[in-house]
Amino acid sequence: MPLDLSKNPRWRPEDLGLPLPDSPHATSVCLPTWQDIIDYEEGAPRVMDALQLGYPRFLIHPFVDRLFEQLHERYAKPGEIAFAFPSFAAAWRCANVVKEASGLSCRLESLDSGDMTALLFPEEALRIVKSYWQHGGEIISSRWAEDLLNEAPLGETETAKGEAAKVTIRERIASAHDAATAKDVFLFSSGMAAFFAIYRLILEKNPDLPTLQLEFPYLDSMKLQSKFGSQGVVDFSITESGCVDEVKGWLAEGKGAAGAFTEIPSNPLLRTANITALSALFREREIPFVIDDTIASAWNVAALPHCDAVVTSLTKSFSGAGDVSAGAVILNPSSPFYAKWIDLMKSEEEASPLYARDAIALEKNSRDVAERVRKSSKTAEEVANLMQNRSAIKHVWYPKLSKTLPFYTPLKNIDGGYGGLISFELHKDSEIFYDQSEVCKGPSLGTNFSLLCPYTMIAHYDELNWAKERGAESNLLRISVGSESAEDILTQLKISK
């Protein structure tokens, strides 16, 4: 039986590199000390060689890596490296990015597994391809690679089970969005693949305009907009108006926007843009507006009525188990873009599909999603309130405690809460605190077990000053609250009264 990490967390130095959870398909990894974080960011062999698994967009899964090795042996010419993408369209897009960034050409080979396509590229382009894999999110899952390595392609029964699971997942997601039905939900191989899909549809209308990022952005959402759009992204992550004044000022100068993106709440500062005012502003000017509700989730907030589409990472709280990567786009039927987008989104979904075995695992994991989200939100609210009164803690970030609470409240469901994520800053000794905390320590969030990380260090190590300017200090710590009680979490964190 897998180890129950809510009762037996992995936090000790000897746990370095062990998967979180205890699964061959885990999407996080234990980095138990502050020095481990630094060495991970610096690529030190001591840490990199110890990593058994990792977040699948950042660290290529061993099964996927072995698949790439097989493709290299079969197709590569001298000086070439082989990757695989879930479709010809995804591989073609990556090849174009390589060409535009370096002038180098790639080759494509069709494989015998759906539309999966091998990309053969010059060794000099490895950094560009890895960047595309990370930011674009159009990845090959560990289960898909595992089946190919075992020469065990899905039979009709397993395929049918996967399709049935997808139907159930769509219905489950739609049930949390009063404005949507199952046909409005599209499933992808990762949350970033979902984000990338809606981003491409937005750029189709106005490819010569930038997009707007409202409030502090998730790392890869910002990178994708800056790297893959010809006009880049306008950064409105420093704001006191909920981004309304900034957007109005931009538009008043005659500058347009292809679309706008925000999260509810932002990660890691857990702030919320003035979504109700922005929604009216964008609708009046026919600017597509997309909200990422991963942190709060649809069981806490109703974002869809205020935007044209919601994107969400199903890897996080929807799954809870932390052993499957997936994402979704939910289209708003009331959006003026709906008629066009719903026809196009199906082909986008096919370009980075949710693999059948992943769908089966995700459906099973998410059966109690509503109960889990409400429980973790309630516990996190209790923990955040208690943290405010602990002398060691300098500041706590939580939606209920934020100055932007008036922007969050109109979107909160009647029975909703504020999510399971808390960020905090200590007066001193953050490194010692992190090293001694007895909770699982690693990236990601939304798991059934609590998960601690020095978020700014691990997400913005190469841009610490940029993050600091936006309020995310280098010693900021973030905890994703799991199934443990508030008392147990504070005890494991060793936060004295």
Mean pLDDT by 10 residues, the chain (497 residues): 91 98 97 98 97 96 98 97 97 97 96 93 97 97 96 88 98 95 98 98 94 95 92 95 97 95 98 98 97 98 98 98 98 97 96 97 98 98 95 96 98 97 96 97 97 97 96 97 96 84
Find out if CATH 3.40.50.300 is the number for domain 168-497.
no
CA angle in degrees (0–180, nearest 5) for 244-245-248: 85
Contact assessment for residue 309 and residue 290, using Cβ atoms and an 8 Å cutoff = yes
The boundaries of every CATH 3.40.640.10 domain in the chain are 168-497
Residue appearing with tokens 């900034």: 246
Torsional sign, CA 333, 334, 338, 343: positive
Q: Identify the three-state secondary structure at position 476.
A: coil
State the CATH class of domain 62-136.
alpha beta
Q: Is the pTM of this model over 0.95?
A: yes
Q: Report residue 221 as tokens.
A: 């959402």
Q: Report residue 392 as tokens.
A: 């060691």
The closest alpha carbon to 454, from 471, 482, 473, 481, belongs to: 473
The boundaries of every CATH 3.30.70 domain in the chain are 62-136
What confidence score (pLDDT) does residue 497 get?
67
Q: Cα(344)–Cα(39) distance, rounded to whole angstroms?
A: 43
What confidence score (pLDDT) does residue 465 get?
97
What confidence score (pLDDT) does residue 359 get?
98
What confidence score (pLDDT) does residue 436 get?
96
Alpha helices in 219-337, H assignment, sequence order: 219-228, 244-252, 275-284
Contact assessment for residue 270 and residue 421, using Cβ atoms and an 8 Å cutoff = yes
The H-or-E segment that residue 80 falls in is strand 80-85
Q: Cα(93)–Cα(428) distance, rounded to whole angstroms?
A: 46
Q: Cα(55)–Cα(38) distance, rounded to whole angstroms?
A: 17
Contact assessment for residue 290 and residue 308, using Cβ atoms and an 8 Å cutoff = yes
